[in-house]
Amino acid sequence: MKTLSSMDYLVFLIYFLVVAGYGYWVYSRKKKASTSASHDYFLAEGSLTWWAIGASLIASNISAEQFIGMSGNGFKMGLAIATYEWMAAVTLMIVAVFFIPVYLKNKIYTMPQFLNTRYNSTVAMIMAVFWLLLYVIVNLTSILYLGALAISTISGINLFVCMYGLAIFAVIITLGGMKVIGFTDVIQVFFLILGGLVTTYLALDLVAQLNHQSGVVAGFKAMLSNNNDHFHMIFAKSNPNFPSLPGLTVLLGGMWIVNLNYWGCNQYITQRALGADLKTARGGILFAAFLKLLMPVIVVLPGIAAYVLYQNGQFHGEGEMMMKNTSGALELVQDRAYPVLLNLLPSGLKGIAVAALTAAIVASLAGKANSISTIFTLDIYKKKLNVDADENKLVSVGKTTVVVAMIIACLLSPFMGIDKKGGFEFIQEYTGFVSPGIFAMFILGFFWKKTTSNAALFATVGGFALSVLFKFLPHIINLAFLAPLGYATNVQQPDGSFLYEIPFLDRMGFVFVISVIVMYFISTFETKQGAHPHGLEVDTKMFKTTNSFAVGALIILGVITALYTFFW
């Protein structure tokens, strides 16, 4: 049923009042304790605890693309999509040990600032513009659209009303600054996990009822035995149905670039830890890694359950939401799976699930908007447009940027074609055009002092150009060389297209390797010609961890090893 009951609205109202009220209380205390300095607004310097950092990382990361997009991938391909979450847990520990100490030691607060310090202002400015365009055009638009689509599907409220409502809620949170975002994210994570677990419980119980049983365990066992094809973590590389997860690439190739770039070279994420000391930052990141182990239970298992229920005719009455035509239905409906599943929840519990979904969307929008504001204000406005701007002016510009970015995203999102492709894959693929070059530039900039600015410039522009080339290369070969000889291929892909493509994870791996090699030769040549790159201050003692961190990291590695072994 596409409506919310009075009880659902009451539950949602309680959620809204708790988040807004707590956010206002934090904001009021912050105003009394400090001035509106830019570092306080953008970074909440020194005020976030380890649990607030960890919760904020997860709240900002888990959003509509996970609840809707990743759950839709669970519906389509099964547990394999959880590789993004479980590999992220390992990546977070790498970032905590090797990346965060470098940032903190060199007093790096934004990613363009790192590039300016390590390379030059040209590289920094190009990447600042890249990141702004990526965050607004890809991330904000997809989060807004998918989130509004889900809530509209559940409640029956107009799509655009939902979209602008989410945007306004996120702006209210964001205008309070990073401290308000960080501490309200703790509440958001509570609702996110509570509502997510409630949905998972009821979804698995519905599956159990198909076999005249009840309970989570019975439902999970039924899915595992009757739908085993949805419980494989590694696909055959040649599987044409799931080209986005090409075999062992998820363990040995491009998946590492996706995760290390996202968690280690991303203003949106690292900003949560850059205002803390090293011990606090590492503790927060480790806490986030533990929460990452839980995420597939919340965002993937409901998608698999929805697939089982769909196969047993549960959603056939939801045809207008579940199918656009009778052929290729599974490919077309995947982003509808989670919202339609929520429509099966009873009154009250449905309100909790909607609150969880809203919490995920709003937290992610707020974090993304704050990062957009930080990059524009500190790395473009302050350096190029108004170098004499005082602290209050910077905060004012930052708040204006939040509002403008959200308005642009609202206007663009209906026209981005997000609903034509799985939302999660939409974000991953289009982010992947710039990720390999960025990561190559960062990793060499961290640990190889001879890396020059021109080498970084190649990674920035050349990496993007190579990504575009590799996307269309098979089609170019097909048309230019095979067609004249009568050997042109026309392989239909699961999304309905007829263009064979290199899987984007493999493309990212190729571009990263080429970028590193070219950067090596450029840097070697330039240093021989007398170039003197600005290496960062790196001390191997920085990478030493506490015993408690090491124990936590070993536990996470053990759990992930066991999961991959069992579900291989």
Q: pTM score, two decimals?
A: 0.77
Q: What are phi and psi of 48, to 5 degrees?
A: -90, 135
pLDDT of residue 92: 92
Classify residue 275 by its DSSP letter: T
> DSSP alpha helices (H): ranges in 34-158?
38-43, 50-61, 64, 71-76, 83-94, 100-105, 111-118, 121-133, 141-155
In contact, 383 and 108? CB cutoff 8 Å: no
Checking if the pLDDT of 157 tops 50, the result is yes
Identity of the residue numbered 422:
G
Average pLDDT over residues 501-517: 85
pLDDT at residue 480, rounded to an integer = 62
Highest mean pLDDT among 72-76, 277-281, 308-312: 277-281
**Burial bucket for residue 2 (CB in 10 Å: 0-12, 13-18, 19+):** middle
Q: Is the pLDDT of residue 31 over 90?
A: no
Q: Which tops the pLDDT comparison, 334 or 322?
A: 334
Q: Is the C-alpha dihedral spanning 168, 173, 177, 178 positive or negative?
A: negative
pLDDT band at 36 (very low <50, low <70, confident <90, very high): very low
**Rounded CA separation 86/68 (Å):** 18
- Output phi, psi for 212, to 5 deg: 60, 35
Confidence of residue 356 (pLDDT cuts 50, 70, 90): confident
Considering only 162-171, 468-477, 508-517, 541-550, which range has the smallest mean pLDDT? 468-477
Q: What's the average model confidence in pLDDT over 294-317?
A: 80
d(CA 557, CA 204): 27
Question: Which amino acid does the sequence have at 221?
Answer: K
pLDDT of residue 320: 40
Q: Which of 285-294, 302-311, 317-326 has the lowest mean pLDDT?
A: 317-326
Instruction: Give the type of residue at 8.
Output: D
Which of helix, strand or coil describes residue 389? coil
More confident residue, 203 or 425: 203
383 secondary structure, DSSP code: I
Cα–Cα distances (Å) from 344 to 159, 201, 316, 359, 434, in that order, read 20, 12, 13, 20, 40
pLDDT over 50 (residue 136): yes
Task: Give the pLDDT mean for 268-288.
Answer: 80
Instruction: Say how far apart CA 488 and CA 482 lie, in whole Å.
Output: 5
The answer to whether 23 touches 173, Cβ cutoff 8 Å, is: yes
User: What 8-state DSSP symbol labels residue 14?
Assistant: H
Please state which of the ranges 414-418, 480-484, 527-531 shows the lowest mean pLDDT: 480-484
**Per-residue confidence band for 309, with pLDDT thresholds at 50, 70 and 90:** confident
pLDDT for position 328: 45
Question: Which of 483, 465, 477 lies closest to 501, judged by CA?
Answer: 477
The radius of gyration of the chain from alpha carbons, rounded to an integer in Å, stands at 23
Q: What are phi and psi of 211, to 5 degrees?
A: -105, 20
pLDDT for residue 28 is more than 80:
no
- Where b means 16+ CB within 10 Å and e means fewer, 371-383 reads bbbbbbbbbbbbb
Burial of 49 (0-12, 13-18, 19+ CB in 10 A): middle
> Which token pair is 464?
């993007």
Look over the chain and give the mean of its residue pLDDT values, rounded to a whole number: 78
Whether residue 369 is predicted with pLDDT greater than 80 in this model: the reply is: yes
State the architecture of 41-421 in CATH terms: Up-down Bundle (1.20)
Q: How do residues 517-558 score in pLDDT, each as one tens digit?
A: 999 999 999 988 887 887 777 777 888 888 999 999 999 999
Main-chain dihedrals φ then ψ at residue 244, nearest 5 degrees = -80, -15
Q: How confident is the model at residue 35 (pLDDT cuts 50, 70, 90)?
A: very low
Higher pLDDT, 488 or 132: 132
Query: Mind listing the pLDDT tens digit for each residue in 380-409?
Result: 888 888 878 777 788 888 888 888 998 998
Residue 330 has pLDDT above 60, yes or no: no
Write the DSSP string, 332-366: HHGGGHHHHHHTTSPTTHHHHHHHHHHHHHHHHHH
Model pLDDT, residue 17 = 83
- Distant-in-sequence, close-in-space partners of 487: CB < 8 Å, separation ≥ 6: none
* Rounded Cα gap, residues 86 and 257, in angstroms: 14
Question: What percent of the chain stands above pLDDT 70?
Answer: 79
Handedness of CA 466, 472, 473, 479 (dihedral sign): negative
pLDDT at 67 over 50: yes
Residue ranges of the domains in the chain?
Answer: 41-421, 432-537
> How far, rounded to the nearest angstrom, does the alpha carbon of residue 50 sit from its chain's CA centroid?
21
Residue type, 251: L
**pLDDT, mean of residues 14-41:** 67
What's the CA gap between 368 and 374, in Å, rounded? 10
**For 443-463, what is the mean pLDDT?**
89
The total of other beta-carbon atoms located within 10 Å of residue 179's CB is 25
Out of 119-128, 211-220, 249-258, which region has the weakest mean confidence (pLDDT)?
A: 249-258
Q: How confident is the model at residue 326 (pLDDT cuts 50, 70, 90)?
A: very low
Q: Is the pLDDT of residue 171 over 60?
A: yes
Residue 238 exposed, middle or buried by CB count within 10 Å (0-12, 13-18, 19+): exposed
Structure tokens at 437: 């070059």
The answer to whether residues 449 and 122 touch, using CB atoms and an 8 Å cutoff, is no
Say if CB 265 and CB 299 are below 8 A apart: no
